[in-house]
Every structure is written in structure tokens, then in C-alpha cells.
């Protein structure tokens, strides 16, 4: 499993890009590949873990999940 940082993600378009921790080209991230409950979205700067495959236009992230190092940045989840 690879690790990277969300470079940007558009909720309106449902996709964005991840900058891999080990360098190299940015990896395409589609909302359908995010493994989480509820509304599937990512935020710029979040650390994620993912697998990837070669797509027709470059690398595509699969099985995207938030890394434990990312923590929760949603103040609504704090009590």
C-alpha cells in the first residue's frame, strides 16, 4: 500500500489528485475509489493510503483510505 498527500479534490467534479510520498507523477483519485462511510470526499493536505493501477491516461488510485496520521479534521466529530 502506498502513502501520499491529497493535492486537491473537487467535490463538484468527484475527483482530484494525490501526490505520492515517494515522488513521481500525481495519481488520479475518483470518489468511487474512496473507502469510507457516508459522503466520500477528500480534503487538500490529508494523508491517505492507497493502491493504484495504470489507467489509459496515467495512474489511478484505488482503495483510498485516510491514514492514521491524517486524523480527523472535521470539527463536527469532536465532542
Instruction: Determine contact, residues 77/61, Cβ cutoff 8 Å.
Output: no
Domain 2-68: state its class.
mainly beta
What would the pLDDT profile of 21-78 be if each residue is shown by its tens digit? 999 999 999 999 999 888 899 999 999 999 999 999 999 999 999 988 765 544 443 3
Q: Give the model's pLDDT for residue 78.
A: 37
CA count, 13 A, side-chain hemisphere, 14: 5
φ/ψ (deg, to 5) at 68: -60, -30
Phi, psi of 10 (to 5 degrees): -100, 115
Extents of the domains making up the chain: 2-68
Q: How many CB atoms lie within 10 A of CB 32?
A: 10
Give this prediction's pTM.
Answer: 0.82
Amino acid at each position: 500500500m502506498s502513502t501520499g498527500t491529497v493535492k486537491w479534490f473537487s467535490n463538484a467534479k468527484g475527483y482530484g489528485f494525490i501526490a505520492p510520498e515517494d515522488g513521481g507523477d500525481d495519481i488520479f483519485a475518483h470518489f468511487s475509489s474512496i473507502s469510507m462511510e457516508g459522503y466520500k470526499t477528500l480534503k487538500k493536505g490529508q494523508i491517505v493510503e492507497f493502491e493504484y493501477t495504470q489507467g489509459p491516461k496515467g495512474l489511478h488510485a484505488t482503495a483510498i483510505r485516510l491514514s492514521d496520521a491524517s486524523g480527523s479534521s472535521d470539527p463536527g466529530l469532536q465532542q
